Amino acid sequence: MEKFKYLKRECLSKLPKSTGVYAFKKGREFLYIGKASNIRERVKNHFQKTSYRDGFFIDKVRKIGYIKTNSEIEALILEANLIKKYQPKFNVVWKDDKNYFFVGITKEDFPRVFWTHQKQVKSQKSKIKSQYVGPFVDGKALKQTLKTLRRVFPYRSCRKLQKKPCLWYQLGRCPAPCQIKTKEQKIKDKKFARKIKEECQSNVKNLMLILGGKKNKVLKSLEKEMKKAAKKQEFERAAKIRDQILALEKTLLHAKVLSNSLPQQSSSFYVWQNTEEKLREILNIKGKIERIEGYDISNIQGKQATGSMVTFIKGKPDKNFYRQFKIKIEGKPNDIAMLKELLKRRFKHLEWGLPDLILIDGGKAQLNIACQCLTSDVKHIGVVALAKKENKLYIKGKEKSLLLKNLPREIFNIFLQVRDEAHRFALSYHKKLRVKALFENS
């Protein structure tokens, strides 16, 4: 694996304009690793148009590393390998296993290629095992890469072998192992079946090697195979492998899989500015209010108790920061103790980023316990609790509660949205645990 070349953060103009991977560092610590079709422009964008996530680490950056690649596909693959190797602190997406991607192949005579969010030893509906490569951050770019590489290494993607070849075979994107099941090609034709099997297995093997960053190994293997076929005077096969080598090199050099679009501010930005200003006035908060986290507890008589954390950024839900907690307290139902456990566990994870305001589903007692959970690191965070019965809002540092219906419409809406989403998210996890317990006890 190639090594990073480093520049001081003041030298952004010296970064290359080529495709590749970049890294932000503070001393020896990797803060963030990303990929780009234009390294200089992408890095400049981090500093000039700071997003909410950038705000967690951009001031800590002391030097910037970069590695140039020959293609966007190589950048995608290199990014995945480097994040896996260095585990940068602020690649927050790794903290939630539902937000990254793997490519899997089934261990069958005619392997199936698929992408997934979570690795499983066996598929849910069968006993077929799979092997995986990844994880990848950018799902859209990964899917485009698979689509592009499929032209070079056709593979099977159907869950069940069909009765006859489908459109993917007609397009030259699948070896169509289903052919051996048709009347025209009966299974008795062992030579034909073996040829299809070898092609399927060879193609997925090469595909996985490339996604694992071993392009050169694949090219050398193909060249060796081509010479071997030519030596045996299998010229048709040798020509096919030659075309495959040329197609692979062309694909890796010219395929466009990365988005060049940069984040832009929309009209919703200005709407939130107005809402934020009113929030600061009502809650008596001087600093910014951009990230709001909502918490809720769901249980029946204390059983299968769950906690949820939902996150709204500038008034919009961001599911990258959603978290679910299985409450560990046992015994009699105690919502206050459960909430305390939930908040203490949450604030042990400063790497998730910190909210500017948290909303608790509950009343004065819930507000007080939430305030007690704020350690010195998070003491500045604003806290409100919203009681269900009359939609009374209890505010940190204020004695009197407010009726939500008397507040401006945008404040009324945002608080109800956060509370309802936290409730929905906690309840969905609670139901899942109940169903699991039901099957285990049956």
SS3 47: helix
- The mean pLDDT of the chain is 82
State the average pLDDT over residues 371-382: 87
- Residue 252's closest CA among 223, 225, 214? 214
Average pLDDT over residues 155-179: 84
Asked if domains 5-91 and 267-441 share a fold, the reply is no
The number of beta carbons lying within 10 Å of the beta carbon of residue 238 is 18
**Portion of the chain with pLDDT greater than 90, in percent:** 21
Percent of the chain surpassing pLDDT 70: 85
Asked if residue 38 lies in contact with residue 19, where contact means CB atoms within 8 angstroms, the answer is yes
Q: Cβ distance 255 to 73 under 8 Å?
A: yes
Please check the confidence at residue 261 and state whether its pLDDT lies above 50. Answer: no
Q: What is the mean pLDDT of residues 410-426?
A: 89
As a whole number of angstroms, the distance between CA 302 and CA 241 comes to: 64
Give the pLDDT band (50/70/90) at residue 265.
very low
Task: Give the pLDDT confidence of 64-95 residue by residue, as tens digits.
Answer: 999 998 888 888 889 988 888 888 877 754 44
pTM for this structure?
0.53
Give the class (CATH, top level) of 267-441.
Answer: alpha beta
CATH classification code of 5-91: 3.40.1440.10
Does pLDDT of 125 surpass 90? no
Q: Work out the pLDDT band at 185, boundaries 50, 70, 90.
A: low
The helix or strand, by DSSP H or E, that contains position 313, with its residue range, turns out to be strand 303-313
Q: Where are the domains of the chain?
A: 5-91, 101-254, 267-441
pLDDT(199) > 80: yes
pLDDT bin (cut points 50, 70, 90) of residue 1 is: low
Q: Which residue, 362, 406, 403, is CA-closest to 384?
A: 362
